[in-house]
Chains A and B, each alone.
Chain A
C-alpha cells in the first residue's frame, strides 16, 4: 500500500515538474505588462465597463493576452494590496484598480514599488499625496448624466405631456436608486435631475439607497418601491441589473448607467468610456512618460459617452441630445449652473467642497465660479472624482 501511495505522490510531483517546465517556456516578449483589478466580475455593469475597455485598449496597443491580466472579485481591503503587490512581484509595469475602496491599498503598494505605476479610478488622494507612481482618474460623467436626464425628460413629455408639452406634478415624479449617499452618487443624480428639469421644469425626484455597490435583490426591490411610490421613470447608480429588471417587469422606462441593458424599457445610458484613459496610460508606460496625477475624461475628449437611444426613447431624442451635447462641449451650457437650482430655497454664491480628502470630511475649496456671466459649481475641475455633495431642492432623499 505504501508503495502505491509513494508512486502516486511521485506521479503528482513529476506532473507538477512538467507543468513548471512548460510554464517557464512561455512569455519572454519585450511588451509591457498591465493588470486590471476589479471589485466585481463582468456580471456587474460597472466592472464590465472597465473590463471591456481594458481589453480593447490592450488590443489597440498591441498587448496580447499573455501581456495583460484581469483579476475580478477583489475586495476593498488588504486583499487588494496583496494582489497589487503580487503583480509588482511578477514584473507588471502598470496596475489599475477600479473601485473607490481600493485606493488606500493601491497607495500602499505604490509606496512599496516605486518602479511600477499604480492607477486608480474614482480616487481622491493622488493630488495631495505626491507619490510619483500613484495616479487617480475619473471623468466628468455629470455631463453624460445630464444628457441622459434630457432624454428622460423627453420621455416623460412623450408619455404624459399635454398639448403644450406640460406634464402634471403627479406624472413629473421620477425615482433614483443610489448605491451610497456619497458625492459620486449625489453628483450623478443631481446632474441627471437637472437634465430632466431642463425639459420638465416641475420635475421632482425621490432617491433611495441600497448601501451597496452591487446587490441585485436590493436594487430591484428599491426600484419596485420607487415605482410603487408613484415614480414614472427610474434611473440608477448601482452596478447590477436589479433596477432595469424591475422596470422591465413594471413597464416603466429606465435610464441606465455604464451601458445599454438590452431591455424594452431602456431609454438611454450614460457611461465613462475608459479606452481613452487606458490607451493614454499604456502609452505613457511604454514611453516612460509621467501619467497625469489626476486625469479627467470629458465629453470633449471622448471619455464621457451616451449610448445609442433605446427602444423606449421618445422621438426626436437624438437630435435634441446632439444639440445639448454641442453646448456642453463648447462651454456655453454648464450643468451645475447655479441659476438652475436652489439649496434650501437659495441660489449658491459660495460653497467649500471637500476636494482635499484628508479624512476630516471638511470642505476647504470654494468650487463656485463665474465665467462669461454664468455662476456655476465647477465639478471635476479641482480633482477628477466628483465632490458635488449638496442636496438640492426638488430631490427628496430617503435614507
Chain B
C-alpha cells in the first residue's frame, strides 16, 4: 500500500519519457476495494452472465429466456432430492478444494487432484472387491478409510519428494500422475470384469451406513467439517504459518529456520490424503463402483473454487456451492430445452466462469489507456498524498 504513490510516479515519468512508444493500455494494480463493492461487482457479473446465457439458450431452442431461469433454479432446488444432491456435490467439490488449498497456499501447483481422487477410490473399491463379504462391514470400512488415505497420500507425496529433492516441476508431475491413475483404474477393471464389458457393477459390501436416514448427510457433514478444520489449520497453527512462509518466499523460510523440504513433503501428504478421502466417499458412499470418469474432473474444477475464494476454506464453501448450483441447474436446462448434447450447457457454464474470473481480475487490476495514463497516475498520486 505504501509503495503505491512512488510506483505511480515511475509510471508518470515513464509516460513522459517514452510518450510515443507507450503501449495502448497498461494494467495497474488497484487499491484494495471495500468488501461490499467487491460483492456487488461479483453479483452484477453473475447476473449479467446468466442473462446473457438465458438469451443464448433461448436462441438455440423454442423456449424463452424466462424459462431458462425457471429451469436453472428448478434443477438446483426443485425437490428435496435435488437440494440434497446440490449439497452433496458441493461437499464433494469442497473436499477436493480443501485438499488442494494447502498446496496452493505453498505455491505448489497440485494439478493432480483427479489422480489422487481416483487412486483413493480405487483403493477403497479394491478392499470392497477382494474383502467384501469375507469380513464384516464394520471392519471393512475402516480398512477402506486407511487404504484410500494412504493411496491418496502416496499419489500426493511422489511429486513432492521429487520437487523437494530435485526441484522437479510439480505441475507436469502431478498432471502425468492423473493419466497413470486412470490407467490403473482401466487395468483393474479389465482384470476384475471378466466379461470384458468394462463396467464394474456396484459392489454391495462396504457401503457406508445412512446417517439419520439420509444417504447424503454424512458426505455433507464430513467435508464441511474438513473445510472448517482446514481454515483453522492454515490460519492458527504453526504448520499453517510455515506453509504461508514457504509459499511467499522459500528463502525467507530457510532463513528463519523452516525446513522447506519437510514442509513441502508434509503438506503434499495432507493434500493427497484429503483428495483420497473424496475418492473414498465416491467409492464407498456414493457410486460403490469405479471408472475412469469417477473423479468427474473435480481435480480441475476445484482449482477455480480455491482461487475464487482467495485460498480461504470458509469462502470456498460459497464458491463450491455457486459452481455446483450452476452445473446442476444446467442439467435441468438441458433437459427442458431439449438440448441433445451438453455443448451449449458447457458454453453457458464457461461463460459464467469467464465473467466471474474476469471481474475478479478487474477487482485486482485496472486498465489505463495511453492518453489518460498520465492523468490517472496524477489522480492516484493525489489520492496517495491525501491518505
In the assembled complex, B343 has its CB within 8 A of some CB on chain A: yes
Q: Is the CB of B37 within 8 A of A1?
A: yes
Residue in contact with B340 in the complex, picked from A1, A70, A75, A181, CB distance below 8 Å:
A70
Chain B residue at smallest Cβ distance from A51: B340
A211-B186, A212-B198 given; name 19 further pairs at CB < 8 Å. A1-B37, A1-B40, A19-B67, A23-B70, A40-B341, A41-B342, A43-B343, A69-B338, A73-B341, A75-B296, A78-B286, A85-B81, A89-B79, A101-B198, A104-B201, A179-B198, A182-B195, A183-B196, A186-B196
Instruction: Mark contacts of A28-57 with chain B using CB atoms, 8 A cut-off: 1 yes-contact digit, 0 otherwise.
Output: 000000000010111100001001000000
Instruction: Mark contacts of B33-56 with chain A using CB atoms, 8 A cut-off: 1 yes-contact digit, 0 otherwise.
Output: 000110110011001000000000
Q: Is the CB of A354 within 8 A of B195?
A: yes
In the assembled complex, A65 has its CB within 8 A of some CB on chain B: yes
Q: Can you name 13 A-B pairs with beta carbons within 8 Å? A: A1-B40, A2-B36, A8-B40, A8-B43, A16-B69, A65-B338, A70-B340, A100-B199, A101-B197, A104-B202, A105-B202, A361-B195, A389-B195
Residues in chain B within 8 A of chain A (CB atoms): 36-37, 39-40, 43-44, 47, 62, 66-67, 69-70, 73-74, 79, 81-82, 85, 186, 190, 194-199, 201-202, 286-289, 291, 293-294, 296, 331, 334-336, 338-343
Q: Is the CB of A22 within 8 A of B67?
A: yes
In the assembled complex, A308 has its CB within 8 A of some CB on chain B: no
Residue in contact with B341 in the complex, picked from A4, A43, A104, CB distance below 8 Å:
A43
Would you call the interface of chain B mostly helix, strand, loop, or mixed?
helix
| Across-interface contacts of B199 in A (CB, < 8 A) | 76, 100-101
Q: Is the CB of B81 within 8 A of A86?
A: yes
A80-98 at interface with B (beta carbon < 8 Å) = 82, 85-86, 89-90
Q: Is the CB of B340 within 8 A of A77?
A: no
Question: Among the interface residues A19, A69, A181, which one has the most CB atoms of the partner chain B within 10 A?
Answer: A19
In the assembled complex, A5 has its CB within 8 A of some CB on chain B: yes
In the assembly, what is the distance between CA of A29 and CA of B76, in Å? 25
| Across-interface contacts of B36 in A (CB, < 8 A) | 1-2, 5
In the assembly, what is the distance between CA of A89 and CA of B338, in Å? 19
Residue in contact with A71 in the complex, picked from B39, B43, B334, CB distance below 8 Å:
B334
| Across-interface contacts of B73 in A (CB, < 8 A) | 16, 19-20
| Across-interface contacts of A1 in B (CB, < 8 A) | 36-37, 40
Shortest B187–chain A CB gap in Å is 10
| Across-interface contacts of B194 in A (CB, < 8 A) | 361
In the assembly, what is the distance between CA of A97 and CA of B195, in Å? 21
| Across-interface contacts of A374 in B (CB, < 8 A) | none
Q: Is the CB of B66 within 8 A of A22?
A: yes
Shortest A249–chain B CB gap in Å is 25
Whether A82 touches B81, Cβ cut-off 8 Å, given contacts A77-B289, A100-B197, A101-B199, is yes
Whether A78 touches B340, Cβ cut-off 8 Å, given contacts A180-B196, A183-B195, A211-B198, is no
Q: Is the CB of A19 within 8 A of B69?
A: yes
Whether A41 touches B340, Cβ cut-off 8 Å, given contacts A8-B43, A77-B291, is yes
Whether A82 touches B289, Cβ cut-off 8 Å, given contacts A71-B335, A180-B196, is no
In the assembled complex, A359 has its CB within 8 A of some CB on chain B: yes
| Across-interface contacts of A398 in B (CB, < 8 A) | none
In the assembled complex, A221 has its CB within 8 A of some CB on chain B: no
In the assembly, what is the distance between CA of A326 and CA of B264, in Å? 72
Report the 9 A-B pairs with minimum CB-CB distance, sorted nearest first: A41-B341, A181-B196, A361-B194, A101-B199, A182-B196, A19-B70, A77-B287, A182-B197, A42-B340
In the assembly, what is the distance between CA of A104 and CA of B74, in Å? 27
Q: Is the CB of A19 within 8 A of B66?
A: yes
Whether A72 touches B341, Cβ cut-off 8 Å, given contacts A5-B43, A211-B186, A361-B194, is yes
In the assembly, what is the distance between CA of A181 and CA of B335, in Å? 33
Chain A residue at smallest Cβ distance from B289: A77
In the assembled complex, A15 has its CB within 8 A of some CB on chain B: yes
| Across-interface contacts of B40 in A (CB, < 8 A) | 1, 4-5, 8
| Across-interface contacts of B67 in A (CB, < 8 A) | 19, 22-23
| Across-interface contacts of B336 in A (CB, < 8 A) | 69
Chain B residue at smallest Cβ distance from A209: B196
Shortest A39–chain B CB gap in Å is 10
In the assembled complex, A319 has its CB within 8 A of some CB on chain B: no
| Across-interface contacts of B195 in A (CB, < 8 A) | 182-183, 354, 357, 361, 389
Shortest A103–chain B CB gap in Å is 8
A108-150 at interface with B (beta carbon < 8 Å) = none
| Across-interface contacts of A184 in B (CB, < 8 A) | 197
Q: Is the CB of B287 within 8 A of A78?
A: yes
| Across-interface contacts of B339 in A (CB, < 8 A) | 72
Q: Is the CB of B198 within 8 A of A180?
A: yes
| Across-interface contacts of A396 in B (CB, < 8 A) | none
Chain A residue at smallest Cβ distance from B286: A78
In the assembled complex, A217 has its CB within 8 A of some CB on chain B: no
Shortest A54–chain B CB gap in Å is 10
In the assembled complex, A229 has its CB within 8 A of some CB on chain B: no
Shortest A25–chain B CB gap in Å is 10
Residue in contact with B293 in the complex, picked from A18, A75, A104, A105, CB distance below 8 Å:
A75
| Across-interface contacts of B202 in A (CB, < 8 A) | 78, 104-105
Chain A residue at smallest Cβ distance from B198: A180
| Across-interface contacts of A82 in B (CB, < 8 A) | 81, 85
Instruction: Mark contacts of A157-189 with chain B using CB atoms, 8 A cut-off: 1 yes-contact digit, 0 otherwise.
Output: 000000000000000000000011111111000
In the assembly, what is the distance between CA of A354 and CA of B190, in Å? 18
Shortest A14–chain B CB gap in Å is 12
In the assembled complex, A333 has its CB within 8 A of some CB on chain B: no
In the assembled complex, A390 has its CB within 8 A of some CB on chain B: no
| Across-interface contacts of B340 in A (CB, < 8 A) | 38, 41-42, 48, 51, 70, 72
In the assembly, what is the distance between CA of A357 and CA of B338, in Å? 35
| Across-interface contacts of A180 in B (CB, < 8 A) | 196-198
Shortest B123–chain A CB gap in Å is 17
Whether A72 touches B342, Cβ cut-off 8 Å, given contacts A5-B40, A18-B66, A389-B195, is yes
Shortest A63–chain B CB gap in Å is 12
Shortest A323–chain B CB gap in Å is 35
In the assembly, what is the distance between CA of A2 and CA of B197, in Å? 58
In the assembly, what is the distance between CA of A5 and CA of B34, in Å? 14
Shortest B316–chain A CB gap in Å is 22
